[in-house]
A and B are shown apart, each in its own frame.
Chain A
Amino acid sequence: MTARVTRWPGVELGSKDLESGKVTTVRFRPEAKFAWSAGEAMSRFLAELQRGRLIARECKSCGRILFPPRMFCEECFRPTDGWVYVRDTGTIETYSISYLDTDARRITEPILVGVVSLDGASPKMGLMHYFGEMTTKEIRIGMKVQAKWRPPESRVGSVLDIEFFRPRKGAER
């Protein structure tokens, strides 16, 4: 506040005032539902996740293994050539210790999120996911991790069929 402005004009209202009916309100929730089609490559990708596997596409021109899979090579401008499985192990490329949840609400126990590059895919290719079974002190770039899959019966064909990535047993730290 400045010397001239000691308070903002207007009436301050809190959520209690709105709930108690202190003022007249209109409440509305638009039905903003949508469906995003996964397409050729991602449909197969999601189906394979449900089976507990990670699949990529290979481009025979540049030799890259594209993960997540795509039907077109953006380097060579040509269709990709075939399906290849990649492993569910990989390396942490980057990470965040987040004190905000997926709804941007403040949380006291941070969640660990980041990018894993997967073994079997071309360098730097992987996916963004959660990390678990490690502390904020232990997590580091270059850490070897492995997917912790949900039990087959609770998989739905989603990236969350992997619960999180955890430190890979037996790998050098």
Chain B
Amino acid sequence: MTFTERTTDARMFRHWPGDIEADYIYTSGLAGERFFRELRDRGHLAGTRCSECGKQWIPPKLFCEECFKETHEWVDLPRTGTVAATCVVRVALDGAPLRAPEVWGLVRFAGFQGGLVHRLLVTEDRARAGLRVRPVLKPEGSRSGAITDIEGFAP
């Protein structure tokens, strides 16, 4: 019977390697485009404002979630924000352990709905909600119009 002739030497087994080609190019969209251009060219963080209810949105939205109105006004964010939540990351995207842990957080801005999730440029023991932080940008000229143009948020 089969089960008595089973291969016990695992080196006899073959395997088939594969690589799923799932690369993509993500475009920022109309509101994202303006946000990243402001960031790249002016070094500013900008959101949108609803002229109906006055709510301000970061990341910028083309439509107000409350009024379903198009938002045409653009407003700069305050220079500082407040950490709302933190997370210490110990594994990289591929699941491999990071050499040094990274601190990430959700940063909210006064008068704005939403916030930005980004790296916090603080040590693990200083990462806490309530911390006042400001964005640290890459120098002008080396920015590409991506969220990585922000290096992180520092106290």
Hey, which chain A residues are within 8 Å of B145, CB to CB?
Answer: 24
Partner of A46, one of B14, B26, B27, B144: B14
Residues of A within 8 A of B118 (CB): none
Structural contact, B33 and A43, CB atoms closer than 8 A: no
Is A101 an interface residue when CB atoms closer than 8 A count as contact?
no
A43 to B12, CA, bound (A): 7
* A18 and B14 form a contact (CB under 8 A): no
Where chain B touches its partner, the secondary structure class is: mixed
Contact A42 B25 (CB under 8 A): no
Known: A23-B33, A43-B13, A47-B14. A30 touches B28 (CB 8 A): no
Against B, the Cβ 8 Å flags (1 = close, 0 = not) of A18-33 are 1000011111111111
CA distance A37 to B11 in the complex (A): 12
With contact pairs A40-B7, A79-B3 given, residues A33 and B28 touching in the complex (Cβ less than 8 Å): no
Report the nearest B residue to A30, measured CB to CB. B22
Q: Chain B contact residues (Cβ within 8 angstroms of A): what range?
A: 20 to 34
Complex contacts, B27 vs chain A, CB 8 Å = 13, 18, 23-25
The reply on A170 being an interface residue by CB < 8 A is no
Neighbouring B residues of A26 by C-beta, 8 Å:
25-26, 28, 146-147
**Interface digits, B14-25 against A, CB 8 Å rule (1 contact, 0 not)?**
111111111111
A80 close to B (CB within 8 Å): yes
Chain A residues touching B, range: 20 to 34
- If A24-B32, A71-B2, A81-B2 touch, whether A35 touches B17 (CB-CB below 8 Å) is yes
Q: A34 in the interface, Cβ–Cβ < 8 Å?
A: yes
Q: Does A34 contact B14, Cβ atoms closer than 8 Å? A: no
CA distance A24 to B29 in the complex (A): 9
8 Å CB contact of A25 from B2, B26, B40: B26
Does B125 sit at the interface, judged by CB under 8 A? Answer: no
A40-B6, A43-B7, A81-B2 given; A27·B24 CB < 8 A: yes
Tell whether, in the assembled complex, residue B14 and residue A28 are in contact, meaning their CB atoms are under 8 Å apart: no
New contact pairs (11) apart from A33-B20, A34-B17, A37-B15, CB-CB < 8 Å = A18-B25, A24-B33, A24-B144, A25-B26, A29-B22, A29-B23, A29-B24, A33-B19, A35-B15, A37-B14, A40-B7
Write the residues of chain B forming the contact surface with A, with a CB cutoff of 8 angstroms.
Answer: 1-3, 6-7, 12-28, 30, 32-33, 36-37, 40, 94, 144-147
